[in-house]
Structure 1
Amino acid sequence: MSATDPAPELDGIARWTVDLMETLGGPGAGLAIFIENIFPPIPSEVVLPMAGFAARLGDLSLAGAIIWTTIGSVAGAWVLYGLGAWLGHDRMRAIAARMPLVDVEDVDRTTAWFARHGTKAVFFGRMLPIFRSFISIPAGTERMGLLVFTLLTAAGSLIWNSIFVVAGYVLGANWHAVDPYASVLQYIVIGAVLVAVVWFLVGRVRRRRAQRPVEQQVR
C-alpha cells in the first residue's frame, strides 16, 4: 500500500471488493466482476474503479486488473447465455403466452430483431448499465454462435472495464469521483427503459381496447 496514497475508510461493496482483491489478487478482481454480471444490483461502476485502486495500491498490476475483470465479465456472460439457451425460443413463447399484455408475436419480433442486430446489441450492450448482463440471455435464447458471442462480449467488456479500471488507478483514493458520471449514464438508461415500457404498455392497452368491440361483433 502506497504511503502517499493510503486506502480510505471503506464499507459495503467497496470494502468487500478490496478485501477480495487483497486476498486473491487478480483472480479476486475477476471473481468480483463475475458476481456483478450475474447479480446486476452489484454495480460495476464501483467494482471496476476499486480494481484500479487496488492496482495502484500494489495488490495487482493494472494490466492484471483489466485482464482479470474481462475474464470475469466473459465468465458471467457465459452463465447468463447458458440460462438463455436453456430457456430457448419455444419456452420463451410459452412464457409470453401466460403474461398479461404480452403476445407470443412479441417474442417472434424480438427474434427477428436480434437476427438483424444481435452482434451490435451484444457488443454495445456490454457498455451499458443493466443491459451489460441481460443482453446475454437473448443471445443464448437465439443460439448466437458461442465463439462470436464470446469475442463480442470480450471486446465490449474490455473497453468498458478498461475505462473504469484506469479511472480508479489514476484517481487513487478519489476513485469515487467516477460515480457521478456513471450514475448519469445509469439514470439515462433507466429512464429510457421506463419510457419504452410505458410506451409499450399504453400502446398495448389501447390496442386491446380497440379489439374488444370487433370481437364482440364477431360473436
Structure 2
Amino acid sequence: MNIVDWAVKIIGDMGGPGVALLLFLENVFPPIPSEIILPLAGVTAGTGVNSYWVILVWTVIGSLVGAYVLYALGYFFGAARVRWICDKMPLLEVEDFDKSVAWFAKHGRQGIFFGRMVPGIRSLISIPAGVYKMPLLQFTALTAAGSAIWNTLFVSFGYFLGENWHVIEPYTNVISNVVYVIIIALVVWWVTARIMRNVKRAKVAPGADTTASTAATMADTPAEPVEPTRD
C-alpha cells in the first residue's frame, strides 16, 4: 500500500476525528504538514467516504485543540521560558519562535487571524497570544476563523481531486513516489539545518544572544494587552 492509499485509508477509517488528531499533532509536533493532511482529507470527502462539511469542521476542531496547547504553554510558562525550551530542543528553531513573537507584537490581535495562514508561524503564533493573555474567547474566534480559511483552501483542493479520483487513480504510485521524495528531502533539509545551527551556536560565546533573550523576557510581563496596529 502506497502512502497516498495509506493516508486516505486512515482518514477514511477514522473519519473526522482522525483528521482532527492529525492536525492536532501537526500543530504541536509537526509530524506531517497540514498541506498534505488537508488535501487527503478532502479526497475522502470527494470520493464519498466522508462528508465535505463534516471533514471541514473536524479540521477546525483539530487546529483549535492544537492551538490551545500552545496558548497554554505561553500563558503558564511565559516567553522567556518557552524560548529557552525552543533553544535547548535539538530540532526546534528558536528563530521561528522569535518571529512569531515579533509578528504578534507588530500586528496585535489581528495577527492571530492572519498568522494562521502564514507558514512558519501559523502554529507558534498561539504562544505569544498566551503570553499576552489574550481573552480565550477572542483567541478561539480568531484562530477558528483563520484556520477555517486555510483549511478550506486545501480541503477543497483535495475534494476536487476526489471527485475526479478515477482520472488520477492509475497514477497514484507515481504520486506516492513523488511524495516520498519530497518528504524525505524536507526532513533531511530540516534536520541538517538545525544540526548546523546547533554547531554554529556552540561556537558563539555565551551572551551573544542577549538582545533576543531580553526581548522575550520583556514579553513575559506586558503592561497592557496588545492592540491591533492601526494604519
- Interval containing the TM-score (normalised by the shorter chain): 0.5 to 0.7
Contact 2:26 / 2:32 at 8 angstroms: preserved in 1?
A: yes
Q: Partner letter of residue 142 of structure 1?
A: Y
- Give the equivalent residue in structure 2 for 1:141: 131
Contact 2:16 / 2:55 at 8 angstroms: preserved in 1?
A: yes
Q: Partner letter of residue 17 of structure 2?
A: P
* CA deviation after TM superposition for structure 1 residue 44, in Å: 0.6
Question: Which runs of structure 2 are paired with 1:81-96 in the superposition (5 Å)?
Answer: 81-89=71-79, 91=81, 95=84
Q: Deviation digits for residues 56-105 of structure 1, max 9, x if unmatched?
A: 12221000111110110011100111111121156468x49x99xxxxxx
TM-score (ref. length: structure 1): 0.63
- Give the equivalent residue in structure 2 for 1:10: 2
* Larger deviation, residues 84-93 vs 146-155: 84-93
How big is the alpha-carbon RMSD for the aligned residues of Structure 1 and Structure 2? Answer: 3.8
Question: Residues 90 and 128 from structure 1, CA distance in 2 versus in 1: closer, same or farther, beyond 3 angstroms?
Answer: closer
Number of equivalenced pairs:
171
Give, in whole Å, the separation in 2 of the partners of 1:112 and 1:21. 36
- Give the equivalent residue in structure 2 for 1:76: 66
Q: Matched residue of 1:134: which SS?
A: coil
Q: Partner letter of residue 37 of structure 1?
A: N
- Give the equivalent residue in structure 1 for 2:187: none
- 1:169 matched to 2:145? The reply is no
- Which protein has the bigger helix share? 1
Contact 1:40 / 1:130 at 8 angstroms: preserved in 2?
A: no
Structure 2 unaligned residues grouped into runs of 5+: 89-96, 180-189, 191-207, 209-231
Structure 1 unaligned residues grouped into runs of 5+: 1-8, 100-106, 180-189, 191-207, 209-219
TM-score (ref. length: structure 2): 0.60
* CA deviation after TM superposition for structure 1 residue 143, in Å: 1.1
* CA deviation after TM superposition for structure 1 residue 18, in Å: 2.0
Q: Partner letter of residue 2 of structure 2?
A: L
- Higher RCO, 1 vs 2 (CA within 8 Å, ≥6 residues apart): 2
Question: Percent identity over the alignment?
Answer: 50
2:51 to 58, 61, 82: 61
Question: Residues 121 and 15 from structure 1, CA distance in 2 versus in 1: closer, same or farther, beyond 3 angstroms?
Answer: farther
Question: Residues 138 and 57 from structure 1, CA distance in 2 versus in 1: closer, same or farther, beyond 3 angstroms?
Answer: same
Question: Residues 23 and 148 from structure 1, CA distance in 2 versus in 1: closer, same or farther, beyond 3 angstroms?
Answer: same
- Give the equivalent residue in structure 2 for 1:150: 140
- Higher Rg of the two aligned structures: 1
Q: Partner letter of residue 43 of structure 2?
A: F
- Give the equivalent residue in structure 1 for 2:22: 32
